[in-house]
Amino acid sequence: MNDQWVSVDPLGEALHYLRLNGVFYTRSEFSEPWALALPAMPDCLMFHVVTSGRCWLEDEEAGPRLLEPGVFALVPHGEGHRLSSAPEVRAAALFDLPREQVSERYEILRHGSGGAVTHMVCGAVRFDHPAARQLAAHLPRRIVIEAWSSPQMDWIRSTLRLMADEAAQLRPGGETLVTRLADILVIQAIRSWIADAPEARAGWLGALRDKQIGRALLLIHRNPARTWTVVSLAAEVAMSRAAFAARFAELVGESPMRYLAKWRMHLARMWLRQENVPLSDLAGRLGYQSEAAFNRAFKRFMGVTPGQVRRQAEASAPQEP
């Protein structure tokens, strides 16, 4: 076994990849009675912070949950849900309401009937890195953190107060500060759930915590171009081939070689969206001997060609003024 992996934390490294790309952030001003229906946003994590007042969060499967200042709510899988002053109020559709555009990804929404006011900061964010997307896939339908319930979370209370102050006044650069603070809170919510939830100790997250399988996953993540085999991975983590293959499949839910192939393809998709480099270079980064072999593998796993992914990314990229 290679000693360089003894002190490495695979779960911590997965958390390192939780870098967010904001889809949009909204400062909302609601007056009772009011209700808002948020549509499903695939591949996004949606969050809500009440900075003053109160509201109810509900979806089709989970019961209503009261949100008040100091509470951070995360809807990890972009599922449609409702926010309201009371569960029985009829909801308006989010995108049917007028919004004031502050910047490309920051807007102000005002809605309601003139009663007591609730102020919120809401947003939708997305992860691009495969490790982050894999981690997000294992999150529950809803995560709610009550900042006052944990003595370790004094800094979250401070962050929420700063966010509320900036959202209320929106000084120059305020939208940038609010969105950065929101990103930090999203990541902290995920970290808190992983630390406390029993279900975070099973599946892929549990595999990352396993002393030997976690190291094998880290080897794959760090060195996707290496010509890995079940035998070479097992040797790196000091296990027999049979024991390693069985334990990997038990914890991760698929064979080591299939996991490696999927990991390479998800990395390729991310690079195709972010970088304008020749396909032959991407093939080499991922351990393929030719561009043709890479193209075949990508089409088999993703259902589309690398060129189609790149063209779609170029078509959806913001245009320079």
Q: Is the pLDDT of residue 103 over 80?
A: no
* 156/74 Cα distance (integer angstroms): 15
* 104/183 Cα distance (integer angstroms): 17
Bridge partners, 100 (sequence order): 108
Q: Which of 100-109, 167-176, 191-200, 233-242 has the lowest mean pLDDT?
A: 167-176
Q: Is the pLDDT of residue 56 over 90?
A: yes
* 240/219 Cα distance (integer angstroms): 17
Confidence label for 25 from pLDDT (cuts 50, 70 and 90): confident
Comma-separated ranges of CATH 1.10.10.60 domains in the chain: 210-316
Q: Which of 52-66, 155-169, 236-250, 285-299 has the lowest mean pLDDT?
A: 155-169
Of 261 and 8, the one with more pLDDT: 261
Confidence label for 149 from pLDDT (cuts 50, 70 and 90): low
| Class of domain 210-316 (CATH, top level) | mainly alpha
Burial of 214 (0-12, 13-18, 19+ CB in 10 A): buried
* 321/307 Cα distance (integer angstroms): 26
Q: Is the pLDDT of residue 128 over 50?
A: yes
Q: Is the pLDDT of residue 30 over 90?
A: yes
Comma-separated ranges of CATH 2.60.120.280 domains in the chain: 18-200
CATH 2.60.120.280 assigned to domain 18-200? The reply is yes
